[in-house]
Structure 1
């Protein structure tokens, strides 16, 4: 029975991804973000359960990637689609410009957001056949990228900052972020994983510092802290890699 527990938790991630997809398509992005976060929580929990119960399996690996494809691949693509659509309309919560009814005025720019979904699919496929990502990641993990993308509508809704709103709803910013997202997902940058083999501070200094800074940023900057955390994650990993090369 216990061998099924991690897979059942992974299926909860799938369910959260499905619900998030429905909300994202309906342009209820705060609820989509909530279920993405729940899905990512279950994504963390299934791996922890598999390690604690010693029931890792190839089925679990494949199922985990399929779940991530929905929660952390498809949903961020839809969110970027909606943001690009809003950027063309010039505001939040307006009637969608894209129509599937043969409207001659259809804009195809919002579909560019699905580059994130394509890049996520490619990254997850590579991850499944890469044996060098047991203790670290090569490229930005899809859950981290998903958090980066879904933070944007939350900043729009809850930060109440006109300058941030203008930046986020700028087409060129969104296009650039989509391209950067696709690059980071499939880059060769080695990024540290939050997996503790022991609790020694010396061996896990960067992980402890990252967790502390993340809490501080979330408390002081709320949703704006999420993209800053992702930036710190990438920069911290680059610094760690340079220090390792110089030793």
Structure 2
């Protein structure tokens, strides 16, 4: 049997169609929640450029079960910059975690995993904003080319405003590029098999003439077992 491709890259229509059954106001409030992300206290920079919230869930056919909030940990072998450190991020807001929009997005992404879905009953959800100014670029992935330490990873663009750069690149396990993409349309998505690929993102810079740039992303990590250690 020919193995399935290790990633899928699709336009905004997939999530737009899934969210079309929900009130437009609910979707607007969901995407607007990126304006309320606190600074990532683990960057180690004088001026924050990354803002973040995080939550984890057990995936049921008709709902998401929110799991207890906990520190986020990644092995040093996976993340050379922040690995080996327990990072406690702010939790997702209750309206986001318990809303129909997140539930719809997670279930839709799970149906588009580039490989077997059996056992993929747990996920981690990251809301991330990266900002940039002419004097300070933003780094979506300061660890460079890396794995996240999960089974599958979905990268969903929420907003891209006055930004240049931020090109996503996927690599095979020998670090040979296999796919490059500049996510530009809200809800455009890449879903990858984290066991078969590495990935990275180039720095975020403001567009020419702009005083600042903003790139909002939602990352959803899929894995088996609600009690395993979470890594990113």
Q: Same fold (TM over 0.5)?
A: no
Q: Which is richer in strand? A: 2
Structure index of larger Rg: 1
Q: Which has the higher helix share?
A: 1
TM-score between both structures, scaled by the size of structure 2 = 0.29
